[in-house]
Amino acid sequence: MALAAERLRTRLADSFPSAWRAIAARVPRHAFIPDTVWIEDGDGPVPIRRGDDPERWLDACYADRPLITQLDDGDDSGRGYITSSASKPSIVADMLQAAEVRPGMRVLEIGSGTGWNAALLAARTGPDRVTTIEVDPSLADHARRSLGAAGWRVAVVTGDGTRGHAPGAPFDRVLSTAAVQRVPSAWVEQTAAGGQILTPWGTTFHNGVLARLAVHGDGTASGRFTGNAAFMWIRGQRRPHAVVEEQVLPEHDYTEHRTDLHPYEPIGDFDARFAIGLRMPTGAGEVVVFDGDRPGDPNFTVYLMAPETGSWAEWRITPDSAGAYRVRQHGPRRLFDELCAAYQWWQRLGRPRRDRFGLTATTGGDQTVWIDDPAHPASETDRH
């Protein structure tokens, strides 16, 4: 087992960017992974238990895939929603590289999870420079124990990371491993001038970019979007889970029309979907669900749902309706119409890639998304 772990650890470390390779080799991932984890197999989470199959568990610890470490906030009677995971190692490596962490820096990590990323950061910065915050007490305990057992001097705080950690401020880097829709003002306040905030960022319509913000020392932080990495939402900014059977009811009235727009164009295109998310009105929760979209299944339905208003749109795709797909809409928000308007806006702009967009966040809690430079807003300022 020890030899196998050594071999796997070396292989994983070799996949890291050169600046992080020696560090990854010093921080064995399996020392942070709980004895029971789950992997996604398409039909839901499948458990892997170290006690049942130690080799499979060890292989999973070093595979380039996320490992689910908690479901439903630890509630065994839940629906199986993922609430914590050990992020995919290549994404961890990308984020560490993007954060430009150097020895001696003070780093605040949001979302301790297993503690592995905090250990990597500590191996880079040196002892007592990293603080990590975890909202879930049992996960925080796990991270604290694992970091302590491996000898990494990291402060693990149990609490809400959207508040940052004022006693440890100012930080040179704030690095979140949970996605936000609004950059918390505390992160801007608690980062030193010249420092950086790196966080997964998304909208109710799209989750999958990183915001890399330079902190200016005048109460603002700004920078472009980059990357392709979907993280779980930070607690406090989670969207309600929408289940088609609960939202789309037989007794609902609806309007119906046909469209030649195939979902592949606005939803299948990463940049289009990102941009559409910037324009869909915020605060009402759009959720996209594909139903019946399996390999080889030519029939499928896309649902857009805004659970807070009860609105939904159903977009039915069948081969015999090519070019005239059926759309039904219910409720005060016309979600399909909103999507089309946002898609047309993006097309009129010349279909810009996501990295032409950026974000400015302030200590007052305002957030503005812009295109090309902060003088050209791409969405209304989202006021605190």
Ligand X SMILES: C[S@@+](CC[C@H](N)C(=O)[O-])C[C@H]1O[C@@H](n2cnc3c(N)ncnc32)[C@H](O)[C@@H]1O
Which residues are the active-site residues? Answer: 87
Contact (CB, 8 A) for 326 and 262: no
Q: Cβ distance 371 to 352 under 8 Å?
A: yes
SS3 state at 380? coil
Contact pattern from residue 162 through residue 191 relative to ligand X, giving x for each residue in contact according to CB under 6 A and a dash for the rest: x--------------xx-------------
Question: What's the per-residue H, E or C state across 262-282?
Answer: CCCCCCCCHHHHHHHHHHCCC
Using CB under 6 A as the binding rule, the residues of this chain from 78 to 107 that contact ligand X are 83-87
Min dist CB 338 to ligand X, Å, is 28
CA-based nearest residue to 374, from 358, 350, 355? 358
> Which residue of 9, 61, 134, 154 would you call a contact of ligand X, by CB under 6 A?
134
116 near ligand X, judged by CB under 6 A: yes
Q: Which of 111, 208, 263, 266 binds ligand X (CB under 6 A)?
A: 111
CB of 245 to ligand X, least distance (A): 27
Q: Which residue has the tokens 């980062």?
A: 191
Q: How far apart are CA 96 and CA 175, in angstroms?
A: 9
Question: Nearer to ligand X by C-beta: 66 or 263?
Answer: 66
20 in contact with ligand X (CB under 6 A):
no
The binder of ligand X chosen from 154, 234, 359, 369 (CB under 6 A): 234
Q: Are 290 and 302 in contact (CB under 8 A)?
A: yes
> Of the two residues 60 and 276, which places its CB atom closer to ligand X in the complex?
60
Q: How far are the Cα atoms of 118, 295, 351 from residue 212, in angstroms, in the given order?
A: 19, 36, 22
For residue 83, give the amino acid letter: T
133 scored as a contact of ligand X (CB under 6 A): yes
310 binds ligand X (CB under 6 A): no
Interface residues toward ligand X, by CB under 6 A: 83-87, 110-114, 116-117, 133-136, 139, 160-162, 177-178, 231-232, 234-236
